[in-house]
Structure 1
Amino acid sequence: MDKSILTLDKGTRCTAWNYSGQRLAAGLVDGSLLIYDSTDPASSTFISTSRFKVQESSILKVVWVPPEYGDAVACIGADGTLSLWEEVTEDTEGHHWKLCKCFDRNTSQVLDIQFGDAETCLKLVAAYSDGQIKIYELLDTLELEKWQLQAEFQNVIDLVSNFGHASCVSASISWNPQRSEVQQSSFVLGFSSNVPALNSPKVWEFDLDHQRWLPVAELSLPEEKTDQVSAVAWAPNIGRPYELIAVATQKGISIWHLGSNPDADGRLSAQKLATLSGHDSEVWEMEWDMSGTTLATTGSDGMVRLWQSNLNGMWHEQAVLTPAS
């Protein structure tokens, strides 16, 4: 018989496991953040150890900072704010969570964020409702409040393009999980917006020679460039000579092959391997396993589907997980 490991509080809007799977952060509609900790890893039971107010509006997303930088989470609020909270230990108060950083929002709202752990420093990429992308760098590995804006641009191939008012309702970011001294930082990002050029997923890579971010690939066929993107996921690579990236739109889930050798213009080859159909509605989240061979997807149909490719490279649905009635 299935056993419940914890019961989430009423009003939970989003959750996120930390990297070890021993802590769970949950954002609530009242703007509170709850931290659940494992009481005994052998029994897989969790209890709430902290609850604190982050903001007045609902928390839409929580993201853990990479573990080598301590126990910290970033929170996106329904009002479009982005804040960073860290667990600290003080002699007078013991363990408690403190606000490290509130990132400037101006008039646009934060839609999605992801941390990328480069060789030089921790980076954070944020996508905004006006179609802008901002890259922040951590200045001091021991001071999570010290960030600087490193770059700001739009998700377009033609960097001199000028649009009217862009209105984006969602965005999805996925960093290249590969860590290598010879491989530059890169991530894929797609929007769901009223500007078609912003929507199609682009792979961005940091050009070390010119100290700027460049679009090196576009993951959409000519007839798909206007499709709004709901989720992207970059697969871990444990030895393939190419990369795998999943892209979800209203037409289904696409699996893309991304080459590793740039052409004379610095662009990487991109080939669509498969289109996966199974979800009856919008795909919300996608996640690869640690080997980068199994893709888990979930959406508004309430189903979790697992996808794999066979020995001939054909992608198929491996399993379907349905919610308990």
Structure 2
Amino acid sequence: MNLVKTCDFATKHEDLIHHMAYDYYGRRLATCSSDLRIKIWEFLEHENKWINPENGGWKAHDGSVLRVTWAHPEFGQILASCSFDKSIKIWEEQDFDGKGTLKRWFERAKLQDSRGAVLDIEFAPQHLGLKLAACSSDGFLRIYEAMDPVGLNNWTMQEDIDIVSGSSRDSAALYCLSWCTSPFQPPMIAVGCGREARIYRQDQSKWGSHEILGGHEGVICDIAWAPNIGRSYHLIATASKDGKVRIFKLREERSGKHGDSFKLANQFTVDSVETLDHGGEQVWKVEWNVTGTVLSSSGDDGKVRLWTSTYAEKWICMGTVSAEL
């Protein structure tokens, strides 16, 4: 199945676009670029087009802007960005003239703890509060929390986790992360570091490294933890420079019988359930849909592939999206 293009638009960024992110409702889109700017786009359904109300966006950093991410709308219209300039910035949209007729994005906080470029950021799931995780080229995973979700000016770094475990630090290495969204599990983050990924979990207020997801022959460029809706297991997808997408299944172990039921051990058995070929080209991005049933992947071949599982638990390509007219 080939998907049909519905609309396109010129972003008018003056350099390479590194990332784009939809808001919670999918009606707004943030783009960031090496031109140091962030732009916010709104979709006009009746006209089937995207518009940029900010008239060109705004200069956000002093280096290439690598990632943008939206907070849950419960906390307001909040955006975070990270850059080669080693900083993370928190942005909030508010009334410009106090009457609600014009909107503008304001910088509320600047986080500068990294000793290298900040490569990936993501807000925590809503039930964990207003928290932000970031991984940097210095080999650290940092977790921040807003002290006052209303003011947004004060953020504290809760954790500063070494994710390279004493090995040599490569300033050109890629690190990526994805939160587990399940409210029935302790806070967990999947982190891609080199050719493997690791699960970091908070147990009794302390974060630590647990399960390892391996098998790639190239550096992992992106990682995505699937939303868990009604499943007894977790799915995590990784994208790599080896031209492959790997899907891992995590099942929670049982430590022993407790009355008439089994007590969960709070550890996972990891199985690599599928390796998907992306035409031999490097794969840069993977993303799940809201139910965790469809996986999208994109890479150097300029195509977005959509994958889904059959009743026999075999993952197949259900469609492709191409920029070719």
Which position in structure 2 is the counterpart of 1:260? 252
Equivalent residue for 2:80? 74
SS in structure 2 of the partner of residue 238 of structure 1 = coil
Q: Deviations over 1:127-182 (max 9, x none)?
A: 111211111112222122221111111226xxxx433444343222111122x2x4
CA RMSD of aligned residues (A): 2.3
For the residues of structure 2 that align with 1:302 and 1:153, how far apart are their CA atoms? 35
Q: CA 1:152–1:56 in 2, change beyond 3 Å: closer, same or farther?
A: closer
Whole-angstrom CA distance in 1 between matches of 2:104 and 2:278: 44
Equivalences for residues 100-179 of structure 1 within 5 A: 100-117=108-125, 119-155=127-163, 161-178=165-182
TM-score, normalised by the number of residues in structure 1: 0.86
Task: Provide closer, same or farther for how the CA distance between residues 296 and 130 of structure 1 changes in structure 2, counting only shifts above 3 A.
Answer: same
How far is 1:309 from its partner?
A: 1.5
3-state SS of paired residue (1:68)? helix
- Distance in 1 separating the partners of 2:64 and 2:218: 29
- The answer as to whether partners of 1:118 and 1:185 remain within 8 angstroms in 2 is no
| Change in CA separation of 1:314 and 1:164 when aligned onto 2, cut-off 3 Å | closer
Q: Which runs of 5 or more residues in structure 2 are unaligned?
A: 257-264
Change (3 A) 1:2 1:289: closer
Residue 206 of structure 1 corresponds to 202
Q: Displacement, 1:64?
A: 1.4
Q: Deviations over 1:98-130 (max 9, x none)?
A: 111111145322111111125342221111112
3-state SS of 2:74 partner: helix
For residue 19 of structure 1, give the secondary structure of its aligned residue in structure 2.
coil
Alignment of 1:2-13 (within 5 A): 2-11=5-14, 13=17
Q: What is the CA distance between 1:23 and its match in structure 2?
A: 1.3
Which sits farther off after the overlay, 280-289 or 85-94? 85-94
Aligned equivalent of 1:65:
71
Q: Deviations over 1:217-238 (max 9, x none)?
A: 11115xx5x7421111111121
- Partner Cα distance (1:299, 1:28) in 2: 18
Native 8 Å contact 2:243 2:283 kept in 1:
no
**Structure 2 equivalent of residue 239 of structure 1:** 230
Q: 1:89 to 1:227 in 2, by over 3 A?
A: same
In the superposition, relative to structure 1, how do residues 10 and 132 fare at CA in structure 2: closer, same or farther (>3 Å)?
closer
For residues 38-75 of structure 1, what are the alpha-carbon distances to aligned partners after superposition, in whole Å with 9 as ceiling and x for unaligned?
3x333332211112221233322221122211112112
Number of the residue aligned with 2:219: 228
The SS at the match of 2:305 is: strand
Q: In structure 1, what residue type is equivalent to 2:167?
A: F
Question: Which of 260-269 and 237-246 deviates more?
Answer: 260-269
1:248 to 230, 233, 239: 239
CA change 1:19–1:118 in 2 (3 A) is: closer
Contact in 2 for aligned 1:130/1:168 (Cα 8 Å): no
Shift of 1:18: 1.1
Q: Which amino acid aligns with 2:233?
A: Y
Is the alpha carbon distance of 1:171 and 1:64 closer, same or farther for their aligned partners in structure 2, counting shifts above 3 Å?
same
* Number of corresponding residues: 307
The aligned counterpart of 1:279 is: 279
SS in 2 for 1:15: strand
Paired residues of 2:21 and 2:29 also in contact (CA < 8 A) = yes
From 209, 213, 216, the counterpart of 1:219: 213
Aligned AA (2:187): S
Amino acid at match of 1:15: M
Q: Distance in 1 between matches of 2:172 and 2:281?
A: 20
Partner residue, 1:16: 21
* Structure 1 match to 2:315: 315
What is the Cα deviation at residue 272 of structure 1?
Answer: 0.9
The answer (yes or no) to whether the contact 2:244–2:280 under 8 Å persists in 1 is: no
- Whether contact under 8 Å (2:87, 2:114) holds in the other structure is no
Higher relative contact order (CA 8 A, sep 6+): 2
Secondary structure at the counterpart of residue 281 of structure 2: coil
Deviation track 1:11-56 (CA, whole Å, cap 9, x = no partner) reads 2513222111211222233212222223x33333221111222123
Q: For residues 232-253 of structure 1, give each alpha carbon's deviation from its aligned partner in whole angstroms, at most 9, with x where no partner exists.
A: 1111121110011112221511
Q: Tell me the SS of whatever aligns to 2:67.
A: strand
What letter corresponds to residue 291 of structure 1 in structure 2?
A: T
Q: Deviations over 1:232-277 (max 9, x none)?
A: 1111121110011112221511111101336597531101111111
